[in-house]
């Protein structure tokens, strides 16, 4: 019980702090935090697969991009209502995740990493190949008019920083609650059991493939929801979002924050976002930060920040 209360205080505190920050942050950081909350949702989605099922994907950019393109093209070509476009983007990622899962989950370990990398690369190339529709690297820009809508008598303008911030917070809160619920549910425990010992879990009568497919689907759904929100909030989608770095980022965020912790991906996203922003001010070779942090994490800090805190001090962190 004590552990539950502590966990409640930690996560509720995080949401309260994020809510309060919007009144304190200057414009530049205000926008950054909007991005960070959306990207942290992506990281939490990634973490469902790697952290709770033990499957390392090198291709999550395809799910993120499915959300971006699903929602972005829905608004751009079909002139969809942004809420419908958000749903379209999320569902696109979910369906892609199910399709990829049915094929790729026959493999594990290194083979799974390479298979997902290859599928994601094929998806990236598809965005380039259908240049007429996607405009490739140049991408699609959504107009301000297309990003405003009326919902239940309330006018929402997604170019308005304050509304955007709170919608990002709502998305983030939804993802956080989903992850917390998943971890505490029987399904979540089966997933952890698969991570720890797949053979044994199978022997106990669980259909490991089905659970892994469920984890990948949820993971893809959160990733694509984040992508769909990203394009609606910031009004741009291009091929670069489907490229390899966007598969590496969530890996980096989750490793830094702590694999298999609910709060870790948020910490990792926040730190890496600012680390990359700061080094971008100093050098055009800012991606070297990604390389150095990855190597250092793997060598000396494999549990990440929240994972280390859990191992050393606060055993109750979910």
Partner 1 sequence: MDLGPHLLLALLEGTVSAFVLAVTALGLSLVFGVMRIVNVAHGEFFMLGAVLAWWITSLVPEAPFWGFMLALIGAPLAVGAIAVVADALVLRRLNYQPEATIVATIGLLYILQQAVLTIYGPDARPVVAPIQFRVVFPWFGYSGYKLVAVGAASLLLLAAWYGVTRTKFGLIMRATQFDRETAQAFGIPVKRVYAAVFALGAMLAAAAGVLVVPLQQAHYLMGLDPLLLSFIVVIIGGLDSLKGTILAAFVIGISDGIISVFFSPTLAKIIATLVVALVLVFRPNGLFGGKAR
Q: Of the two residues 122 and 151, which places its CB atom closer to partner 1 in the complex? A: 122
Beta strand 236-237 with 154-157 is: unpaired
Nearest-approach distance from CB 270 to partner 1, in angstroms:
20
Distance of CA 160 to the CA centre of its chain: 23
- With a CB cutoff of 8 Å and minimum separation 6, the contacts of 306 are 257, 258, 261, 263, 264, 267, 317
- In 3D space, the residue among 84, 98, 64, 77 whose CA is nearest the CA of residue 227 turns out to be 64
By CB under 8 A, name the one of 8, 9, 17, 111 that touches partner 1. 111
**What character string, x for contact with partner 1 (CB under 8 A) and - otherwise, covers 80-109?**
-----------------------xx-xx-x
- Tell me which residue has tokens 């291009």: 238
Give residues 113-152 in contact with partner 1 (rule: CB under 8 A).
113-115, 117-119, 121-122, 125-126, 128-129
Closest CA to 187 of 205, 204, 160, 206: 206
DSSP E strand boundaries for 23-161: 140-141, 148-151, 154-157
- Spatial separation of the C-alpha atoms in residues 304 and 258, rounded to whole Å: 4
Minimal distance, residue 141 CB to partner 1, in Å: 23
Q: Which is nearer to partner 1, 205 or 284 (CB)?
A: 284
**What sign does the dihedral 180-184-188-189 (CA atoms) show?**
positive
CB of 282 to partner 1, least distance (A): 11
For the bound state, the minimum distance from the C-beta of residue 103 to partner 1, rounded and expressed in Å, comes to 6
Please identify, using beta-carbon distances, which residue of 4 and 285 lies nearer to partner 1: 285
Asked if residues 278 and 70 have their Cβ atoms less than 8 Å apart, the reply is no
Length of the chain: 318
Binding mask 24-63 toward partner 1 (x if CB under 8 A, else -) reads: --------------------------------x-x-----
Q: Does 177 bind partner 1 (CB under 8 A)?
A: no
Among 30, 286, 301, 308, binds partner 1 (CB under 8 A): 286
Q: What are the residues binding partner 1 (CB under 8 A)?
A: 56, 58, 103-104, 106-107, 109-111, 113-115, 117-119, 121-122, 125-126, 128-129, 244, 248, 251, 255, 283-288, 290-295, 297-299, 302
């Amino acid at each position: 019980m004590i552990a539950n209360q502590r966990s409640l205080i930690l996560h509720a505190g995080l949401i309260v702090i994020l809510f309060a920050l919007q009144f304190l942050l200057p414009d530049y950081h205000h926008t950054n935090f909007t991005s960070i909350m959306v990207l942290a949702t992506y990281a939490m989605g990634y973490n469902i697969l790697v952290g709770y099922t033990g499957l390392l994907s090198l291709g999550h950019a395809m799910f993120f991009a499915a959300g971006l393109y699903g929602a972005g093209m829905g608004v751009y070509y079909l002139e969809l209502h942004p809420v419908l476009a958000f749903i379209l983007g999320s569902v696109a990622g979910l369906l892609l995740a199910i399709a990829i899962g049915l094929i790729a989950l026959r493999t594990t370990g290194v083979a799974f990493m390479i298979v997902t990398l290859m599928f994601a690369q094929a998806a990236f190339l598809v965005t380039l190949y259908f240049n007429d529709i996607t405009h490739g690297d140049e991408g699609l820009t959504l107009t301000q008019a297309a990003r405003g809508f009326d919902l239940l008598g309330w006018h929402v303008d997604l170019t308005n920083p304050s509304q955007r911030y709170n919608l990002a917070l709502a998305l983030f809160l939804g993802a956080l609650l989903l992850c917390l619920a998943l971890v505490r549910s029987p399904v979540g425990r089966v997933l952890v059991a698969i991570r720890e010992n797949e053979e044994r879990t199978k022997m106990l009568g669980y259909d490991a493939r089905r659970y892994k497919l469920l984890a990948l689907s949820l993971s893809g759904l959160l990733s694509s929801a984040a992508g769909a929100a990203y394009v609606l909030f910031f009004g741009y989608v291009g091929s670069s979002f489907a490229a390899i770095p966007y598969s590496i980022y969530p890996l980096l965020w989750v490793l830094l924050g702590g694999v298999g912790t609910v709060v870790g991906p948020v910490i990792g996203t926040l730190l890496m976002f600012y680390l990359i922003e700061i080094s971008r001010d100093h050098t055009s070779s800012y991606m070297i930060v990604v390389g150095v942090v990855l190597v250092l994490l793997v060598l000396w800090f494999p549990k990440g920040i929240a994972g280390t805190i859990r191992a050393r001090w606060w055993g109750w962190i979910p």
